[in-house]
Chain A
Amino acid sequence: MKPTASPFALTRNGFGRLVLTDAEGLAHEGIVPVRAFGITAPDYGISLMSADGKELQWLETLDVLPADIRSLIVAELAQREFVPEIRRIVSVSSYATPSTWQVDTDRGTTALILKSEDDIRRLRGRDNAGALMIADSQGIHFLIRDRLALDAHSQKILKRFL
């Protein structure tokens, strides 16, 4: 797809907030880009929401946008997305919950507290059969993209909770 002229303008102001100027020339401050399918299809469907939660622009894909606007959106998304992906489970404090897990993630090592086994959810869908979503006690969601691709040690630990 070829980038086309966009029907809106997007800039970042001195307070670090995104400002969208729509076709009528109205400026909206504090734009929040949101992925519609954060886990299963991150690249399909991105919505630009106003600070008070109204959708201002629906973008099926970012590919059609001019490069500067796209990079602003991508940068803002990166600032908001926080789903550490677990690469390795180093150790767990106990096999009974609540249990503290020491994990290596793509964002560095950390500890998470699993309140109950119910907080581990299998993601359904065609492309992510082995994917798990783990909600820790703070409400952070950790992702295991493919539990069968983890190393044997991690898998063995994980099995005790599944």
Chain B
Amino acid sequence: MIEPDTLPEAWQSELRACLAPDEQLIAWLELDLDDHLDFRPGLVALTDRRLIATGENDTSWKTWRLTAGLKLAHHDHAGVGTLELEDEQGRLALWRYTLGHSPAALRFEREFVRQRDSVASGQPPLPAPAAICPICQMQLQPDEEDCPNCFRELHTPPSTWTLLRIWRFAKPYQGQLIAGFLLTLAATAATLVPPYLTMPLMDDVLIPYQNGTPIDPNKVAWLLGGLLGSALLAWALNWARTYILALVSERIGADLRTTTYEHLLKLSHEYFGGKRTGDLLARIGSETDRINVFLSLHLLDFATDVLMIVMTSAILFSINPWLALVTLTPLPIIAWMIHLVRDKLRTGFEQIDRVWAEVTSVLADTIPGVRVVKAFAQEAREAQRFREANKRNLEVNDRLNRIWSLFAPTVGLLTEIGILVVWAFGIWLVSKDQITVGVLIAFLAYISRFYTRLDSMSRIISVTQKAAAGAKRIFDILDHVSSVPEPVNPVTLPPLKGGIDIDKVSFRYGNRAVLHEIELAIAPGEMIGLVGHSGSGKSTLVNLICRFYDVTEGAIRVEGTDLRSVAIADYRRNIGLVLQEPFLFFGTIAENIAYGKPDATRAEIVASARAAHAHEFILRQPHGYDSLVGERGQSLSGGERQRISIARALLIDPRILILDEATSAVDTETEFEIQSALNNLIRGRTTIAIAHRLSTLRRADRLVVMDRGRIVEIGNHETLMASEGAYWRLYQAQTKQLDAPPALGENGSSP
């Protein structure tokens, strides 16, 4: 039971005042919309005897006693959920909420039904079934409102810490990384030697010479040798560390890419349905690359810079703390100013990214659809669209370039000013005999290296942010749990006989109910014909049988085993599927037919092509079975593509054959030929065939007629015709259509 204390604070005292002393609060639902669909908080609460809800104005509460006749129904439209309370006479109340509250509303409704039934029957309420996440079907903990899996993805903005998660991919290369770091340390130290050597060069050689002491060639040779040596050393070390670290980061990038792709392939249809192809391509392609560049270039540079600054500071302080202090004070100021400009630039870069995406999306739209573009002679308009996207790109770039062109000179100026300060203070110190000229020169040599690095250091902020955003988008994919999860302990399937038991199956796409309580037992070897209006849920049912989606309620069983408890790939090996939209990969016809069984012999390929009546037209292609079919199989006709995909399904010799409009694009004669060929193949296989052309399904043992997500009739052609029901009407409509085609368009005109 829920105590009133866990209620949202705003309602606690008011609600408690309404309750009778022994009244128990059972559930509540927070509302965020009022009757006029304005955003306003409200509350409906369920107690052991009645419903209590906020009314029109905040202070009034309305109540309804629980009786057997009370009903609560929910539905939603355009992002607004509605909960209606009715009894036999009519509607009593109506509450609205945005869909975010939908799971809570469903739970509330369940509690209501339990409580009402208990009040009506006088029995204590039945125990509550465990709540299940509507998205990923995971069981929720009793106190969880939302599924932690599905909710997290939505709500966390990318943080720089996401980058740390890449460590998972870096770990295997620990050794190389440590070596790389040590090399970086050594290389940086080596580059700091030359400025140090300028000190003795100045103080012990040049200045004494000006004061009349001759130059000691030995000493000069030593010093110059030192300069050369340190330069060579730095070169070698830098080469080694860049090579090692680039190698490692390239491998990390590759691992990241393949792991993401492997994971992506495991995700369900649902995931792909909600994503744009271009977006996924970008994530796996360019985002991994961006992270890669970040690791191999920017992170490395940054590490070097930090090391250099730390080491340089140490050296400077060891030479002369006062001068060091003065040298370093402008540093934070310059860093801050650079950061300011960068901030402006960053928003500009973001904008460029987005505008660039727009330019590419015009391409991504029109190139696959080029046939439509040409068919409707819209080339000029598409060109115009592209030109406009490009124009926007130019505008944003121009604006950015104005700041950008200012940026480099500004950094230069700031550096000069910094050096000026060091000069001034240094000259003063020299005049006070605090330091030698050599020290000052060494300082200046160090400092100029120092400031130039500041620029690249400031860049790290924005590239880190970009890389973090990229990492987040990749981990979005990696963290996504498939909505058709692999069972933890998969049951091994016995060789299938082909029986499928569909038990009270309901299904929703998101919040939209598409199938309602489907009951169907398919016997091994039976041929089922699925018919019904477009959108009645035929393909959806097939999707469930293939386990592309998991049922929302009920279960599908093969050989008595729930589909959800068998390994997915194991099960799908038994299914030959011909999809409504045949898809051919880029490659030869033979490769396409053998897609599901790459080691098939040529004889097998030819046999299945013959069965699908594809053999002859394939032979008419320039290279027969070795002819290339293009992207989307453009060189083949629609019917030819369908026949290749039938051959592909037949080749794997499946126990269950699913034909979703497999022959819709071939002429009736060819279809008849395919049918008769299939006839031999279908024998002994469970076949589920969907077709709008009812003649296709004449041979079906049973026809299943669907309408708006329900099975309305089952039977063979003769019995269904005799009963003059939905099938009869469909059939009549088709035969009539052949006799006299109906007029175009609907006949609804304005009054």
Contacts and interface: CB of A to CB of B under 8 A. Distances in A.
Main secondary structure of the interface of A (DSSP, over half): loop
Interface string B78-100: 11100010100111001000111
Interface bin, chain A: 35 or more
Interface string A81-95: 111100000000111
Interface in A141-162: 141, 159-160, 162
Given A96-B157, A138-B100, A107 B37 contact: yes
A107 B39 CA distance: 6
Contact of B279 (A52, A100, A118, A141): A118
B469 interface: yes
Contacts of A60: 750
A141 B751 contact: no
B98 A140 contact: yes
A141 B32 contact: no
Given A64-B751, A82-B78, A139 B99 contact: yes
A4 B746 CA distance: 24
Contacts of A59: 750-751
Interface in B731-748: 746, 748
B6 interface: no
Nearest to B80: A82
A8 B39 CA distance: 35
Contact of B154 (A6, A105, A115, A140): A115
A105 to B, nearest CB: 7
Interface string B23-50: 0000000001100111110000000000
Interface string B99-133: 11000000000000000000000000000000000
B405 interface: no
B79 A82 contact: yes
A105 B158 contact: no
A40 interface: no
Among the interface residues B155, B156, B465, B469, which one has the most CB atoms of the partner chain A within 10 A?
B155
A15 B84 CA distance: 9
B60 interface: no
Contacts of A108: 38-40
Contacts of B100: 138
B interface, by DSSP: helix, strand, loop or mixed? mixed
Interface in A8-54: 13-16, 52
A16 B94 contact: yes
B462 to A, nearest CB: 12
B157 A138 contact: no
Given A58-B749, A94-B157, A140-B99, A84 B39 contact: yes
A96 B354 CA distance: 12
Interface string B710-746: 0000000000000000000000000000000000001
B254 to A, nearest CB: 26
Nearest to B153: A98
A160 B352 CA distance: 11
Given A16-B94, A107-B38, A110-B32, A6 B89 contact: no
B90 A109 contact: no
A78 B750 CA distance: 22
A138 B79 CA distance: 7
A141 B79 contact: yes
A161 to B, nearest CB: 8
22 contacts: A6-B751, A13-B90, A14-B91, A16-B90, A58-B749, A59-B750, A78-B37, A80-B77, A80-B78, A84-B39, A93-B157, A94-B158, A96-B472, A98-B154, A98-B156, A98-B157, A107-B38, A138-B100, A139-B78, A139-B99, A162-B351, A162-B354
A-B complex: 9 closest residue pairs judged by Cβ atoms: A14-B90, A108-B39, A140-B79, A94-B157, A16-B91, A60-B750, A138-B99, A107-B38, A139-B79
Interface of A: 4, 6-7, 13-16, 52, 55, 57-60, 64, 78-84, 93-100, 105, 107-110, 113, 115, 117-118, 137-141, 159-160, 162
Interface of B: 32-33, 36-40, 77-80, 84, 86, 89-91, 94, 98-100, 154-158, 276, 279, 347, 350-351, 354, 465, 469, 472, 708, 746, 748-751
Given A107-B39, A140-B80, 20 more contacts: A15-B91, A16-B84, A16-B94, A55-B746, A57-B748, A58-B749, A58-B750, A79-B37, A81-B37, A84-B39, A96-B157, A98-B156, A105-B39, A138-B98, A139-B99, A140-B78, A140-B79, A140-B99, A160-B350, A162-B354
